[in-house]
Structure 1
Amino acid sequence: KRKMSSEDVESRESLLDGQPNGHAKVVIERPVFSQQKFDEGFSPGSRPQTTFRESFLKSCRKCQCSKDCFLGFLYKIFPFIGIMKDYNIRTDLTGDIVSGLTVGIMHIPQGMAYGMLTTLDPVYGLYTSFFPVIIYFFFGTSRHISIGTFAVACLMMGSAIEKGLKSPNVHIITTCVNVTSSVTPVSNLTNETVQQFSLSCSDNTESVKLQIAMAVTFMVGLIQLVMGLTRLGFVTTYLSDPLISGFTTGAACHVFTSQIKHVFGISTDRYSGAFKLIYTYRDFFGNIPHTNAVTLIASVVCMVMIYVVKEYINNNPKIKPRLKMPVPIELIAVVLGTVIAYFIKIESKYGVKIVGDIPTGLPVPTVPNFSLMPDVLSDAFALSIVVFAISVSMGKILARKHGYEIDSNQELFAYAITNMGSSFFSSFATSASLSRSLIQEHVGGVTQLTGLVSSALLLLVLLVLGPYFKTLPKCVLAAIIIVALKGMFRQFLELPKLWKLSKIDFLIWILSFLATVILDVDLGLLFGVVVAIFTIVYRVQRPYVCVLGQMPGTDIYRDVSVYKEAVEIPRVKIFRFENAIFFVSVEHFKNMLFKYTCNPRHVKQDIVEAENKIRKEKANFEKITFQNTTNEVELRVTNNDITEFCPTVEVPDVGIDTIILDCSTWSFIDSMGVKALTSVVNDFREINIKIHLAFCKAGIREMLEKTGFFSCLDRDNLFVSIHDAVLHTQHQISSSESDSDSPVDGSTEIIVRSVNGTTESTDVKS
């Protein structure tokens, strides 16, 4: 115990006197309440419990064929009705239009860049920036998130496509051969024939990739729909912020790796599964000598230009407030790159890879290939969880900032409809973009009407401007993606703070990051979830435990290891276990209780050893023979003489008469917890230590009643508070001490009668 200084003593006395500033004081006089006496005096009722049947009937009674019920249903399924009902055209429309144009300008380069990240043609990124935004407008409850392409989701989609290409249901080579089998015999192949063959194979591969992407997207929506209908949105609670941060940072490493080849203008094979980054960088460094200098220069210039504008203009605290909208540097880079590449003929002269033909118009609705869905189920499940967790987290942050709430289950339903619907229009899985959402909110967007404005701008690109981006170098899109990753890589800066706050959260971050980098994106997410669940189990299984002491002059009890003034009650241990008592934690509960009090099994072992020693001494004492000439001898021995014949055997005093269990932190107790508690009560009873329970919640008392616990511990040992249990215990101790101090007249004598040298009887006299 730390020593209290004079200042500490004065501060405590001043606090207890209710000074300074005339603080209120608590003065209460009442009897000590056991739980049974308290319930008898105040007659509590039973806790309200609703059965499944009652809940179902209550829900059915709410379903009425009325106008109000129908409108309520419409408002819930189509939240935009309620949002637009309160829409103020005068104050809100301008902000939505400006925000919509700003976000639409961002959608164009990001859609094309992230479309390339999925291994599909860039135009499919534009489709994903168009159709899902319109669908989400009708079903979403968030007013500020920007739905569309997102780096992590696109990376996971690309990984799913690569795995899908290896599926036995995909027969690319067979299809390619069938395409050219009627062209000409192999012996008569010409260069033109070979080009036709390669083009057919390439087109077929892109078609199969698109089918896989559509199948994955539909499955993502279907999984989210099932989760929404079964109210399983809570599963995302296991995706903690450290887990998501570590996972997205690891995914950013994969995104960077997938684009670095476009920056250098070299080719590498695509890998999937564990250690894919190692294999990719092996190929990358092996092909460094084949770097395209023009591609590298263009990439560096674009990255520097985008970074400088973003950091020193758009995010400059001195300049940012004066900008009505951020400088659309990504779009400027795309336009400049396209124009320059067109005039200098960058592909034919310098071998720089370009985007190629971008079809005009909207895609024809196509039913996804359902035969591929079983092969992409695992990837779709991981993707559905990630995009929902990221999107709903961003939605909640912005909703909290603007004073409204989002419905998580309705959001899950909205994402489901968005993904399932857009999968028919050559789109891939969508997610909220962190950067676009923040800009949409910052520029002045009020509702999802901004999405319709941005979609109108994208429609113009798809119908008219698309072909003009044919000469856009892929390295420009790669530069846009790499610079956009800086926000994710900055998450490394969270680690020092996370280390100070929680070592376990730090461990989750590191392991999620390493698993994502070393294994793969989906495996990294799975590993991170397993680690997070393991830490939950560890924390639940091994909660904080302590011994409480009384704060002087109060009825307040605190941890003696934290509060230096807390004083333990003599011969009383107040034990706190800060968790539920159930099958996961029962062993730790018993071990810690024995550690902080005493182990009754060890005490019983000491008692047995002492009893054995007493029996041995008694046996030796009975063998004493008395030699005398008469037939009967009377021997008188006083207390002082007994030690000469039977030495005293002392049993160690553990210094505890009563243990009070603070149950205020127990949220529940299960059958194994009750068994453990019963075992503890019985073990301590055998060494004459009483157990009291303080502050048992109603649910715990009901469980104790159902399991027959009170057959081993009387109900009078339950108290409404720790202080009641302490006062009751002190009263019992003082009563027993007063009884033991009653005077005894004379000395105690042991009379041993021996007949013919044999002990016949023993009497005790006082």
Structure 2
Amino acid sequence: MTTRTAVRSAWFAPTLRGYDRAWLGRDVVAGLSAGAVVVPQAMAYATIADLPVQVGLYTCMAPMVVYALLGGSRAMSVSTTSTIATLTATTFVAADVAANADDAPRALATLTLIVGVVLVLARLLSLGSLVENINKATLAGVQIGVGATVAVGQLPKLLGLTDDPTGRGFIRSLVAVVEAVPRANGPTVVLSVLSIAVLLLLRRFAPHFPAPLVVVAGGIIASAALHLTDVGVEVIPAVPNGLPMPAVPDLTLVPGLLPGALGIATMAFLESAAVARGIRARSEPQIDSDRELLATAVANLAGSVTQSLPAAGGFSQSAVNQRAGARSQLSTLVTAALAVLVALVLGPVLALMPTATLAALVVTAVVGLIDIAELRRMARISRRDFWLAVLTAVVGLTAGLLGAVLVGVLGTYVLILRELQRVRFVPGAVVGRSVSARVDGDVYTANVLGYENAAIEVAESSAGVDALVLDLSRMRAATVTILDALRDLDQELEQRGVTLILVGLDGPAADTASRSNWFRGLVGQHRVFPSVEAAQGARRDVS
């Protein structure tokens, strides 16, 4: 096998290479178990975005297959999540698109395509690790906003309120629902309470059991046997039999959808990376951020032509997949095959499902996102992280989830920039007429001026010295900006009668510096040494 062929094979279906036939039974069972969760859950998530339930079903097809062929996680199941569905709804509202059934497929195809393109560009720029710098406080705040917003948005369906009194935004929606409670439909409320109770009890006492499947089957059976529609219980619209027809994106919608797509792309990768790392067994290979970025990107590109919601790894179905013994992404291919079977055969049966049943699935899934215990832990450990999470959540509940994502991301990078600006500079002892100092941290454009000023201060505060021996052994990389700053430092010290001597520069930093005329001049003047001791010894010899 040539090197080029080996590289290609390493990227294609990594979890299926060297497949052991003994894994087949476990993978099939795991795929069916995950399908029992992910198919009804994805259909429920489609309703969050005010899209037909079959859109959720379609999201369990092409994106899953693509991730199975490109992704590095053995057990992660990729369809969509409550966060992504909510951001999709927010994006459509902000862009004022998808107002009717005719516009919805093209608007969805356009949004999912933009998300895929953004992720592809991020992969080409190797931004996988950069995106992962967004801290847990930001994610916690966004998830609280998602959980509370979605839960309130599902209350009319749980109460059987046919006029959907929710307004735009969390506060107004909550007030509208409270005012409409007297008009609730009694049988719908009973069904909702029973559905939520079954989901919570099975999650508590039988966590390995496919609770969503039980609730969906129970709702369908109750609807058919008890003729619940006769007493005012709404059912979902008819689910068309067949596979999704290709949808052509509407490029005129790109400007309006782009801001939301950026937020969705960020959250899609963050959620996928978090799930992949969270369920990885110790015996499995490390998760490669750039591989996951590419797999998520291509999954979204595939979904854009098959009427799919933006795709991301979901924790609940992935956890079911893992607990059922999934050994490879063959389990996900089984789940996708199950979704295809449902689309081809079970459409009329699904049309009997009460709307309240899907709402119960959504509410029990998203309430878990409101992690008060995690907030308390942040408050105990880091007030800074706690207040960032609170600020992000408040923005999400008042100004919208896209605003929360933006505030959280900007807040994270403000903290990162502050950390990058920190100067870790260790003054050394005066030996003869030279004083040493060590750069004890990484040097970036953001902090190089701080290091320059710190070095000048050491030289000025050391009486009687005529040389500063600067230890750069901790500096792993050099840029033009950094080299220019060192040259400026050399000139500033020269004006003060102090000679700059560099020591410890090695590896890529030394290779880059060697291309600079100024640095080569230092070498020619014997002002570059491997260590502080060598530099001070050379000065003693000269004197």
TM interval, shorter chain, is: 0.7 to 0.9
Name the counterpart of 2:76.
145
**3-state DSSP class of the match of 2:305?**
helix
Q: 2:9 aligns with which of 64, 75, 91?
A: 75
Deviations 1:133-155, CA, capped at 9 Å, x for gaps: 23433343432210112111111
* Correspondence for 1:118: 49
Q: In the alignment, what sits opposite 1:101?
A: 32
- Residues 709 and 414 of structure 1, relative CA distance in 2, 3 Å threshold: closer
Specify the code of the residue in structure 1 equivalent to 2:269. Answer: F
Report the equivalent of 2:450. Answer: 588
Cα distance between partner residues in 1 of 2:70 and 2:444: 42
Structure 1 residues 270, 496: closer, same or farther in 2, change over 3 A? closer
Is 1:313 the counterpart of 2:209? The answer is: no
Aligned to 1:695: 504
Q: How does 1:572-611 map to 2 (within 5 A)?
A: 574-581=436-443, 583-593=445-455, 597=458, 599=460
- Take 1:581 and 1:705, find their aligned partners in 2: how far apart are those partners? 19
Aligned with residue 666 of structure 1, among 471, 475, 487: 475
Describe the shift of the 1:511–1:721 C-alpha distance in structure 2 as closer, same or farther (beyond 3 A). farther
Contact map agreement 2:159 2:189 (CA 8 A) in 1: yes
Q: Deviations over 1:71-97 (max 9, x none)?
A: 5476256x23x65452222x1011011
Match of 2:530 among 703, 707, 720: 720
Matches within 5 A, 1:743-762: none
TM-score by length of 2: 0.85
Counterpart residue identity of residue 265, structure 1:
G
Following TM superposition, by how much is the alpha carbon of 1:433 offset from its aligned partner in structure 2, in angstroms? 0.7
Give the SS at the match of 1:530: helix
Kindly report which structure 2 residues correspond to 1:430-449, keeping only aligned pairs within 5 A, or say none.
430-449=311-330
Secondary structure at the counterpart of residue 240 of structure 2? coil
Greater RCO, 1 or 2 (C-alpha within 8 Å, sep 6+)? 2
Aligned to 1:347, the other structure's residue is in SS state helix
> Equivalent of 2:413, from 525, 530, 533?
533
Q: Please give the alpha-carbon distance, in whole angstroms, between the structure 2 residues aligned to 1:679 and 1:288.
A: 76
Other-structure match for 1:561: none
Q: Which amino acid aligns with 2:485?
A: G
Which 5+ residue runs of structure 1 have no aligned equivalent? 1-66, 173-204, 315-325, 550-567, 601-652, 736-766
CA contact (8 A) 2:166 2:177 kept: no
CA distance in 2, matches of 1:365, 1:460: 19
Structure 2 residue identity aligned to 1:268: P
Over alpha carbons, which structure has the higher Rg?
A: 1
Cα deviation, residue 548, structure 1? 5.0
Q: Is the 8 A contact 2:493 2:499 kept in 1?
A: yes
Aligned length: 537
Secondary structure in 1 matching 2:60: helix
Residue in 2 aligned with 1:362? 243
- Tell me the distance in 2 between the aligned counterparts of 1:282 and 1:443: 42
- 1:491-506 to 2 correspondences below 5 Å: 492-495=372-375, 497-498=377-378, 505-506=385-386
TM-score with structure 1 setting the length: 0.62
Counterparts of residues 443-482 of structure 1 (less than 5 Å): 443-482=324-363
CA distance in 1, matches of 2:401, 2:32: 33
- Contact 2:149 2:397 (8 Å CA) reproduced: yes
Measure the CA separation in 2 of the matches of 1:249 and 1:540. Answer: 29
The 5 Å alignment of 1:601-750 reads 660-667=469-476, 668=478, 670-682=482-494, 684-685=496-497, 692-697=501-506, 699=509, 703=513, 706=516, 708=518, 715-716=525-526, 718-724=528-534
Is contact 2:435-2:459 (8 Å) kept?
no
Q: Deviation digits for residues 496-526 of structure 1, max 9, x if unmatched?
A: 5546666655555444444433332223222
Contact 1:582 1:671 in 2 (8 A): no
Report the AA paired with residue 211 of structure 1: R
Report the counterpart of residue 542 of structure 1 in structure 2.
422
Q: Is the 8 A contact 1:143 1:448 kept in 2?
A: yes
What pairs up with 1:179-218 in 2 under 5 angstroms? 205-218=100-113
What is the 5 A alignment of 1:269-418? 269-271=166-168, 276-314=169-207, 326-349=208-231, 351-399=232-280, 401-405=282-286, 408-418=289-299
* TM-fit CA distance, 1:386: 2.2
The answer to whether the 8 A contact 1:233-1:409 is kept is: yes
Distance 2:2 2:469 in 1: 56
Q: Which amino acid aligns with 1:215?
A: T
Whole-Å separation in 1 of the counterparts to 2:465 and 2:384: 36
Give per-residue Cα distances to partners, 1:683-710, cap 9 Å, x unaligned. Answer: 543xxx6665442336359638835368
Q: Give the secondary-structure state (helix, strand or coil) at the position aligned to 1:575.
A: strand
Structure 2 match to 1:637:
none
Which of 161, 167, 176 is the aligned partner of 2:92?
A: 161
Supply the RMSD in Å over aligned alpha carbons. Answer: 3.7
2:397 maps to what in 1? 517
What do the CA deviations read for 1:588-626 (whole angstroms, capped 9, x no partner)?
23444566x4756xxxxxxxxxxxxxxxxxxxxxxxxxx
Q: CA deviation at 1:334?
A: 1.6
Query: 2:102 aligns to what SS in structure 1?
Result: helix
Look up the SS of the partner of 2:78 in the other structure: strand
Decide whether the 8 Å contact of 2:106 with 2:247 is kept in 1. Answer: no
Distance 1:706 1:128, change over 3 A: closer
The one-letter amino acid of 2:9's match is: Y
Task: Evaluate the alpha carbon distance shift between residue 576 and residue 459 of structure 1 in structure 2; reply closer, same or farther with a 3 A threshold.
Answer: same
Structure 1 residues 71, 585: closer, same or farther in 2, change over 3 A?
closer
Deviations 1:468-522 (A, max 9, x none): 23342222222222222344223x4334554666665555544444443333222
Deviations 1:341-362 (A, max 9, x none): 334433332x333223222333
Q: How far apart are 1:715 and its partner, in Å?
A: 4.7
CA deviation profile, 1:47-66 (whole Å, cap 9, x unmatched): xxxxxxxxxxxxxxxxxxxx
Deviation digits for residues 202-228 of structure 1 (CA, Å, limit 9, x no counterpart) = xxx223223311221223233334444
Change (3 A) 1:494 1:726: farther
Shift of residue 159, structure 1, vs aligned partner: 1.7
Amino acid at match of 2:45: Y
Q: Secondary structure at the match of 1:356?
A: coil
1:310 offset after TM fit, Å?
A: 0.9
Q: Distance in 2 between matches of 1:522 and 1:395?
A: 24
Question: 3-state DSSP class of the match of 1:287?
Answer: helix
